Amino acid sequence: MNFPDILQSFLWTAITVACYLAGLGLRRLARNHVLANPALIAMILVAVLLLATHTAYAVYFRATWVLTFLLAPATVALGIPLAKNFAHVRQSMSGVILGLVAGSLTSIVSGVLLVRWLGGNKELALSMLPKAVTTPIAMSVSGQIGGVPALTAVLAVLGGIIGALTFRTVFGLLRISHGHAIGLAAGTAGSGLAASQAAEMGDGPAAFAAIGIGLNGLLTALVAPLAASIFK
């Protein structure tokens, strides 16, 4: 690596961190509203900066490799909250397994079918397929089955925002009041964003939200290649 490369790496990584910090600040200003998602705000700011400075995306992506590199250990790190809350799974084994499998499969199938019915292409359908899962797992699954990881990242964040915005209303209408069910559903269908909202409801919902994130990540990574080959 020569000097300008190092400088460019440092510069773009620092800019990305600054954009994320701006996102965190905006979220605080918006009193933690789910729409003020720091990652989404940072992505938009970075995109605007890249377009404004006529920087090729490939150059930026190579320069910020450190951040992308850390996604892999961050994914492994999800094992800790899963393990810490795993005792709860044993208490309600049938509910967790049924709920998880049903939620995972319906969201995979409905995502792909809705895209295809409304005229979206195959690449979009495959990028949509793993979007319910926590973003880093969704991205690597997407790349593996022929989707576009960047598109999946945005779809995953959008899905999380939709889940976080709607889950209280949806469960209120359906009279689903069991805190564990709400937590598991938020973690399974809305990944980290909806889960963090559900976690505010108490320890039970928080534990089951962590279980939903971890186990649905695992389940979707297992069934995605099969599902993708069926839809092809």
Partner 1 sequence: MTPPSRKPGKKTGRMVVSGLIGLFILLALVFVGGDARKAFHLSLPGPVIGLVLLAAGFLLAERFHTRSHRQLKLHVAPVSRLLVSQMGLLFVPAGAGIITEGDALRHEWLPIVAAVVGSTLIGLVATGWLMHRFAPKLQLAKI
Contacts to partner 1 from residues 169-188, by CB under 8 A: 170-171, 174, 176-182, 184-186, 188
Count CB atoms within 10 A of the CB of residue 69: 9
Q: Does 18 bind partner 1 (CB under 8 A)?
A: no
- Is residue 4 a contact residue for partner 1 (CB under 8 A)? no
Give the integer Cα–Cα distance in Å for 109 and 107.
6
Choice between 2 and 75, CB closer to partner 1 = 75
Locate 216 and state its tokens. Answer: 């649905």
Helix axes 65-77, 3-29, angle to 10 degrees: 50
For partner 1, how many residues bind (rule: CB under 8 A)? 120
Task: Work out whether 206 is an interface residue with partner 1 (CB under 8 A).
Answer: no
Which CB, 3 or 69, lies closer to partner 1?
A: 69
Give the nearest distance from C-beta 8 to partner 1 in angstroms. Answer: 13
Which is nearer to partner 1, 3 or 157 (by Cβ)? 157
Least CB distance to partner 1 at residue 74 (A): 4
Token pair belonging to 75: 């994914």
For 168, counting Cβ atoms within 10 Å of its Cβ (0-12 exposed, 13-18 middle, 19+ buried), the class is middle
Residue 26 as a binder of partner 1 (CB under 8 A): the answer is no
Stretch 118-147 residues interacting with partner 1 (CB under 8 A): 118-121, 123-124, 128, 131-132, 134-137, 139-141, 144
| Residue carrying the six token digits 């790190």 | 77
Return d(Cα 166, Cα 154) in angstroms, integer: 18
Measured distance CA(90)–CA(30) in Å, rounded: 39
38-97 positions binding partner 1, by CB under 8 A? 38-40, 42-43, 46-47, 50-51, 57, 60-61, 64, 67-68, 70-84, 86, 91-92, 94-96
Region of 120 on the Ramachandran plot (φ > 0 left; ψ -120 to 50 alpha; else beta): beta
Comparing CB distances to partner 1, the nearer of 7 and 12 is 12
